[in-house]
Structure 1
Amino acid sequence: MKALKTYNSKVSSEKENICFLVKDILKFLCDSSDAINEEILFEIKVILNELLQNAVKHGNKDDSSKSVKVCAGITASNSVYFIIEDEGEGYDCGCICDEEGGPDEMADICDLKESGRGMLIVSSLCDKIRFNKKGNKVIVLKKLK
């Protein structure tokens, strides 16, 4: 996967930074590609908001001395990717995603705790989602068309 353009940022783990990051990444994407329609932009906004909220709240436990790294890029195959990494202890993604990276067919969204629904929504909006072994880094791929 070769990136045509990339975006990189590292911010302190504060909720106030999430809105700034989402807006900045969306601006980067819109400036970098004319192929993104409003529906895709909305889905990207949902994905980013959820992943960044998780990194700040669950990963770094709202500890502003910790940081969140964000990398985004547009590929030659007209996809966008996001890599979000926190400094937390990690997340057991096996409870939400199967080994293929998609939503667990056995999971009923109504039975999930409030905090588990976001990752199921993110999984449904992405074309691919992967976690590192520790569970503190997520990589998401979304086609722009």
Structure 2
Amino acid sequence: MKVLKTYNSKVLSEKDNICWLVKDIVKFLCDSSDTINEDIIFEIKVILNELLQNAIKHGNKEDARKSVEVNAGITANNYAYFIIEDEGEGYDCGAMCEKKCGPEEMADICNLKENGRGMLIVRSLCDKIRFNKKGNKVIVLKKLK
């Protein structure tokens, strides 16, 4: 996959950093591609917000001495990718990856436990999602049109 443009950032694990980081990444994507519609932008904002919340809250346990590394980019075949890595111990993403995420499950999302709900939402909005073996790094692909 040929990468056309990249974005890299490393931020401290403070919830206040999430909003401006999401805005900065979306600005990068919009400045780099003229084909992203408002629905895709909204979905990207949700994906990034959920992944960054997880990295800061669950991964780094809101320890402001730890950081979250974010890499993003646009590929030649019009995908955005996001790589988010925290300094936490990781978690077993296998159980999350095995959960079904079809229309019925999404219709009942309000009945799900809060933990894990965000990852189901992310899975439903992205085209591909992968985790490293440790479980502290996620890679997401999202088609831009």
**Bucket of the pairwise TM-score, normalised by the shorter protein:** over 0.9
CA contact under 8 A between 2:101 and 2:123: conserved in structure 1? no
Q: Distance in 2 between matches of 1:21 and 1:68?
A: 11
- Give unmatched runs, 5+ long, in structure 2: none
Amino acid at match of 1:104: K
Deviation at 1:97, TM superposition (A): 1.0
2:97 partner SS: coil
The structure richer in helix per residue is 2
Residue identity (%): 79
Cα 1:71–1:95 change in 2 (3 A) is same
Q: Distance in 2 between matches of 1:127 and 1:14?
A: 28
* Alignment: residue pair count: 141
Deviation at 1:91, TM superposition (A): 1.7
Cα RMSD for the two superposed structures? 1.6
Instruction: Provide, for residues 39-69 of structure 1, a one-character-per-residue CA deviation record: whole Å limited to 9, x for no partner.
Output: 0000000000000000000000000000000
Name the residue aligned to 1:58.
58
- 1:35-46 maps to which residues of 2 (within 5 A)? 35-46=35-46
Deviation at 1:32, TM superposition (A): 0.3
2:100 to 72, 80, 104: 104
2:36 partner SS: coil
CA contact under 8 A between 2:12 and 2:64: conserved in structure 1? yes
Amino acid at match of 2:58: H
TM-score, structure 2 normalization:
0.92
Amino acid at match of 1:36: I
Does 1:18 find its partner at 2:18?
Answer: yes
Cα 1:105–1:5 change in 2 (3 A) is closer
- 1:59-78 maps to which residues of 2 (within 5 A)? 59-78=59-78
